[in-house]
Structure 1
């Protein structure tokens, strides 16, 4: 928990001062998270000092009683959650059963008052009791503000920034509008609307499909290839014939809400139905460059496309929203230099066959062939890795400032002064005075746009700690997004807290700072840092 699942939430509370944290449906070690006092009161409100309220995911208390059978009565489920530190239940379960919980003595009014106070304190901070809402700073916002020109452009910009270019052979992207006289647009996601907004969405102002977006630059010819993403049957002959007659091909495939959304998990990592066959045969028939666009929430095993020389470019667009078609066209025709990076690793199908859905362990287990999870612990073959993404230009990195050694000062009586230690507790005076009386050091990198196009670039700083306490093989310390015109350079600075950022979690859940060589890396640039006593 402390090693993988809690750090992002802790950062939101301690660094960003969020006003609310939501507990989930699931149980951890047999206890529902919304009824766990150690988690809600002990960690979130106690250790992290949450200044706000804790809310359940919708119907979590009902699930706790009805599906998980954690309590004998609905009132007991409400009481256990309130006593654990829950302030607000999404949906109506608490409304219906809280009074019974109080009357039967399962929970006292003090616990109820505490929850109400946390909720009302947040409302007060939001100005809920400050009079006429229309006289407050955001009191006049309404539907009229959603579809302004500025907000529609924001939707387009968000989609552009989210596009990840994964493969681009020489002479492929970006296309020149003057050179592409005939463009074939093929695939079950090439002319979709609802698919682009995923689920948990608002009402779009309007849709621009990939086909419509491309049609604003050239006059394309369209062939869906499959009637939907399930692609049980594919009109490969028509699609291949169209590809053979066009100067270039854009294939838009992937997923939609038929195969992935909340409460509907995919069972494998393959493109659905006959999509792979469609892609392969279209690429084989094409006479010009072929761009494969993957529209999906999660990754796919597209090793076949990565290794196919006929497929000259691959991009992942996620579910790009209402302006997705415009954004895709902007990247394909070079009006926008792609700058996105994968937020997760794309695994081969063989990986799924080794990872049971019920096993949430992060670290690999050689005894049973379990490969581990995420880029931090999985060292096997990948299709594409976390952080992958290329652009139409070239960014170079050069290290200009970083320490080679950090000596942690210890008291004369400390046992590690007289014996070999693999690690130290990641708390104490030695952490506060790790670097010349301070707890942190700086890394400075000079980054240069060495290409012929302006572009944005995200600098990722990773660390590989010493191999103690089954530590991660790689861990993201920080990232910084910059924009540089061609031939421009700038200095990117990272502050690294020795004990906070470079610590690992030991076998019993305690944070430790590993002694020995820590490898810091940005792209292909590597720097060795030795931490010693």
Structure 2
């Protein structure tokens, strides 16, 4: 029989949230008891430390319930050597950046990014692009040369970044235009240069989407459309493009891309999420066929207007 040693920890302050904000229980002691009896071993926050003792005294939970949670937690700590003396003298006591940024770990970051990219549309098998046929590519969009945007939030310090522009440039010659100064895309002053770039190159890759200024914890989006004038930029560049147009969406949640799906000039659509430090390499690898894209992890909205086919009823006023 194989034993699995693990403990379950809450999202930070979540026990307090379901009492204070969601009113799941009548008292804080009931909230603490319910969490522990449901299998929670460690609270990321002060709630259990404050209210568990009173929950035991009120008979809502037993000391044995608490001991089981502690056993799960302490067992893992023992396996990590946390009770074996000086931490720095133990197996994991001197882990540092050199252990994080190993070639194997950086390759894992790249593979995770590759598997996280999803092909939403591929008209006429436009992808993958061939570097021997497509010699020049216009790389356009507010997320086309970003770095920190790719790691989202709740992230550590990256070992290094490869932006989409840098990744694509490893395959072909590129012409870069931002199109928008940021994802808010409040003006069209840069649209003309982007249109010219797409007209003069063999293919166009638009890297659009969101960043933490649009969506983040405590910052909810109020709509599903691309921000500002991004949609107009995509449509204008696609209309001007000489060759195939690939739209890459970088975002944490779904975006309504029905306009692009219905645009015959846009031949492929990719969703890249926030792909991490190696995101640019992964995006390029998918576009140029070095690797296959992954699978979608949530429903991607595509709103289309349904037209009712109303049959005209011909009335006959023939008299008998």
Which TM-score applies when normalising by structure 2?
Answer: 0.80
Could you tell me how far 1:323 is from its partner in structure 2?
A: 0.9
Match of 1:67 among 7, 16, 21: 21
1:156 and 1:326 in contact (8 A); partners too: yes
1:270 and 1:349 in contact (8 A); partners too: no
Could you tell me how far 1:258 is from its partner in structure 2?
A: 2.3
1:268 and 1:349 in contact (8 A); partners too: no
Aligned to 1:277: 232
Cα deviations across residues 485-525 of structure 1 (Å, max 9, x unaligned)? xxxxxxxxxxxxxxxxxxxxxxxxxxxxxxxxxxxxxxxxx
Residue 93 in 1 paired to residue 47 in 2? Answer: yes
Match of 2:220 among 233, 256, 265: 265
Could you tell me how far 1:283 is from its partner in structure 2?
A: 0.4
Could you tell me how far 1:209 is from its partner in structure 2?
A: 0.8
**Aligned pair in 2 of structure 1 residues 178, 123: CA closer, same or farther (>3 Å)?**
same
Question: More deviation in 115-124 or 69-78?
Answer: 69-78
Structure having the larger proportion of residues in helix: 2
Cα deviations across residues 401-432 of structure 1 (Å, max 9, x unaligned)? xxxxxxxxxxxxxxxxxxxxxxxxxxxxxxxx
Query: What runs of 5+ residues in structure 1 fail to find an aligned partner?
Result: 1-15, 20-51, 352-533
Once residues 329 and 112 of structure 1 are traced to their aligned partners in structure 2, the CA distance between those partners, rounded to angstroms, is 51
Aligned to 2:241: 286
Could you tell me how far 1:74 is from its partner in structure 2?
A: 4.7
Once residues 205 and 291 of structure 1 are traced to their aligned partners in structure 2, the CA distance between those partners, rounded to angstroms, is 28
Could you tell me how far 1:277 is from its partner in structure 2?
A: 1.4
Residue 332 in 1 paired to residue 287 in 2? Answer: yes
Query: What runs of 5+ residues in structure 2 fail to find an aligned partner?
Result: 306-320
Once residues 323 and 53 of structure 1 are traced to their aligned partners in structure 2, the CA distance between those partners, rounded to angstroms, is 31
Residue 56 in 1 paired to residue 42 in 2? Answer: no
Between the two proteins, the alignment pairs up a number of residues equal to: 303
> Per the alignment, in what secondary structure is the counterpart of residue 43 of structure 2?
coil
Residue 256 in 1 paired to residue 211 in 2? Answer: yes
Aligned to 1:403: none
Over the aligned positions, Cα root-mean-square deviation in angstroms equals 3.1
Match of 1:144 among 98, 102, 107: 98
Structure having the larger proportion of residues in strand: 1
Match of 2:160 among 206, 211, 214: 206
1 or 2 for the larger relative contact order (CA 8 Å, sep ≥6)? 2
Once residues 81 and 88 of structure 2 are traced to their aligned partners in structure 1, the CA distance between those partners, rounded to angstroms, is 12
> Per the alignment, in what secondary structure is the counterpart of residue 239 of structure 1?
helix
**Aligned pair in 2 of structure 1 residues 268, 104: CA closer, same or farther (>3 Å)?**
same
> Per the alignment, in what secondary structure is the counterpart of residue 45 of structure 2?
coil
Residue 163 in 1 paired to residue 114 in 2? Answer: no
Aligned to 2:300: 346
Once residues 142 and 177 of structure 1 are traced to their aligned partners in structure 2, the CA distance between those partners, rounded to angstroms, is 39
Cα deviations across residues 176-220 of structure 1 (Å, max 9, x unaligned)? 434444321111111111221122222101111111222233332
Could you tell me how far 1:147 is from its partner in structure 2?
A: 1.5
Which TM-score applies when normalising by structure 1?
Answer: 0.51
Could you tell me how far 1:282 is from its partner in structure 2?
A: 0.4
Once residues 280 and 295 of structure 2 are traced to their aligned partners in structure 1, the CA distance between those partners, rounded to angstroms, is 19
Once residues 308 and 80 of structure 1 are traced to their aligned partners in structure 2, the CA distance between those partners, rounded to angstroms, is 52
**Structure 1 residues 13-24: aligned runs within 5 Å:** 19=5
1:269 and 1:348 in contact (8 A); partners too: no
Once residues 62 and 306 of structure 1 are traced to their aligned partners in structure 2, the CA distance between those partners, rounded to angstroms, is 43
